[in-house]
A and B are shown apart, each in its own frame.
Chain A
């Protein structure tokens, strides 16, 4: 005898096609073991139904949700819009940093005193200039360039 144990829950839930349900019922009428198993499953279903109901939404549910929806409505929609919003926080500072690096590279490459030293040495020198600039509270790329030029002029003129 093949016991239709996998169908017993679906039978309880009235989720079997009519012909299959009839076949399982016929089996149950002749099989005490399957009837016991079905009673066990039915008992579990009854216990789950006996649980207290879920709590009601709090009185502030609607007000809180409305507040969140107002914030959503005010926020930019979609990935493109969100990226556009982030541009001012992320992209522009990043672009500024890239521009500063470009200025630094240009100053290094066009430094007249030691053109043969190559890129690395030039950048090291620029870093020293940048340290100087930082020490006097100058942090804009343009200001760094000015400091670098002044420093070079001073050295040409033999100043310490």
Chain B
């Protein structure tokens, strides 16, 4: 039939279904190659000529009008002899007769058919999803509906924190709505951005007044005749006048499927963009090629080129798949991502963070080639990286300065000192304290300063968050020349950073950093997610700084603290229930005996900490063992924690003929006060009833020795590897004072010791006198420390075993994912 036409000199008939970006781009390319080969008819379901769908976001945000985004107006179709049938959806294809029939009843015959039906927003199938006021974000009609809703003000909930959802959220916010983004995953745009960039983006959106809920799953859309809100699976209800669903797209395959074309997720095509029927081609988002579907225009345009060439009679052109890059179109937020940034073996991560400018860049390099890139805050080199990525260019020559971008090195700025030298005197170096370069140089020359500490003392530069420390050192080096000896640097926290523990802690407080990714970004970590040294430390510092506010990161805890049990060399665990002050009862012992029998626990041992340890418990038995112990009133003994371990006691005045005070009772009180706390390293207390000291109180982190006239408080002792006897802090008269001093001492240690520094080395570092000035000489300060300790304890005294035994927390830790074979 086709040959017939050609031999009769008639033009072949091409019908295009879908008047969108891919279909019309194919026509443009085709017209350029073979302007008069086809008699062309285009069906479009939308009532508009072809427009730039991408630009709907700026239309929503009021930055563009619809007229400005039209790509081809009706005159263009006319000029090219194309019949355009808008507002008429094609409903069937008759492949035998080679005709299509549209909603209007119109039937048009074809020799070649091009499917370019795009995709539709995926609407999650929750109750209420079909209520008026629930809208996708796909076409002009959706935008018009959103603009109408926004005109009335009120609240919008956007479901989905991907590209489309965030552009919708931003647009609606700009238009005056109160906007909440509900996102299932822990970070925004997780498919395009890594966690660092995702967190930065979230902060920026929050700064703009958009509420972002991550890890939030929608249960139901509320409302009777129209939307009134959204209920999440955790029970939270969000009032809403408009709900935008932007959780993903689904290729439009109905037409092709109904016609019997091979379809998977999309209409399947080969490298010639031809479907299983040689007379039918397909392009755009409706297509599945080599198992992949695409949702961005760049690949669609590549497909269009091949389809056009094939339609024009070409035989060689082939589409072989695309590498994609993404940019978010929210004015003032620069986000770029491309390729595969997941890394893996032999991959190198090059990370650059410039906290002051809010910049984060990560390039993944493998075998000297760029595999992927994520840029936040400074995306001007995105295209450069993307080109090298697509070309598979060898980057060895530029490897060292790659991360600084294309312009780098051109002006000889490769030496970082040169960059600082080039700064004018008025350039601000220390943002926290507003100190300019000139001020620092002047202080160095006039006052004869020669070290970082002196500069800090005289100018305050780098004395707060410390993020300008490197620049201040460069200024010292530049000003003093060879006269600058450099810093005898305190040891950095770990290899991921140059900063010391103290600098990091100070920055967490002064910059109000509230999450691990925040700290890593602001303090310019060199690795994407740290290592086993820094992550537990940061988790502790954040927990200590923001009690009740910071959400503990289990993935940054050593296994014992994550599992709430001590791992043994064969991978089983030991379980130590708390025995307050070393006391137990027949009922507790019976419960322990029952647990041992029931779970066939191989070893039971009395510990050096005056309690009972059950060894060899299988991981999957832990929750059940805990449940049984809980039932008898026992809780975790935290034998695994950088936290309070035991309070050892002796019998004291209740029974002992030498006892001066109730050492057992006081020990129980102290354990009730301090259990559950997280500390830089483990903490052990003891109370002895007289100076015979049977509870070995003078080698404990805090030991109380009871005497006739009161209580001696001993601090900074250690058994273990380097035995250190305590120093006497002071003597007090009442139990209440013991309690207050203990709380204050714990808090001082919590706030000022470095992670993994026990009280003994801490005390040696800061000196007994310092601790005395804070606790003994300053009653107000002591009370304040104690108050902060009690406040923090109000969040930490939940039994971690009970939470897990009930199955509510971390269930996945205890069960295998699967059993095969």
Bound pair: A and B? no
Binding site for B on A (CB under 8 A): none
